């Protein structure tokens, strides 16, 4: 079993910043890709950013230059620093991890989601 626990969501004014974190725990041998996704009301879930175990990153065009994804492999934790936030960034943000379990199976694990609201 693998669990992902997110923290850091909340309410912020346009132009403000928020930082999210997501810690993985459980039967983990290693973690390949970790990422953040978001789902706004009435919309489909979309990719925000991903990062490999080697540190290669990928961003959605809409957040490039404003958001920064990072990870601490020793802590099995991924972070998302969000700057210059816009109302359209309002969504439930969920983290995802491609985990190699101690049984050497590959799992796709999801966190429970954390709400980010950008509003004045």
Q: pLDDT for 61-87, tens place per residue? A: 999 999 999 999 999 999 999 999 999
CB-neighbour burial class of residue 33 (10 A; exposed 0-12, middle 13-18, buried 19+): middle
Label residue 118 by pLDDT band (50, 70, 90): very high
Label residue 94 by pLDDT band (50, 70, 90): very high
12-55: per-residue pLDDT in tens? 999 999 999 999 999 999 999 999 999 999 999 999 999 999 99
Q: Which pLDDT does position 9 carry in this prediction?
A: 92
Q: Which pLDDT does position 22 carry in this prediction?
A: 98
């Amino acid at each position: 079993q693998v669990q992902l626990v997110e923290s850091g969501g909340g309410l912020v004014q346009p132009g403000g910043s928020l930082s999210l974190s997501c810690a993985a725990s459980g039967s983990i041998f290693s973690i390949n890709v970790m990422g953040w996704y978001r789902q706004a009301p009435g919309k489909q879930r979309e990719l925000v950013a991903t990062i490999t175990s080697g540190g290669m990153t990928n961003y959605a065009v809409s957040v490039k230059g404003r958001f920064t994804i990072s990870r601490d492999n020793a802590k099995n934790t991924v972070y998302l620093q969000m700057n210059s936030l816009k109302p359209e960034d309002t969504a439930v943000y969920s983290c995802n991890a491609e985990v190699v379990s101690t049984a050497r199976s590959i799992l796709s694990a999801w966190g429970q989601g954390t709400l980010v609201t950008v509003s004045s």
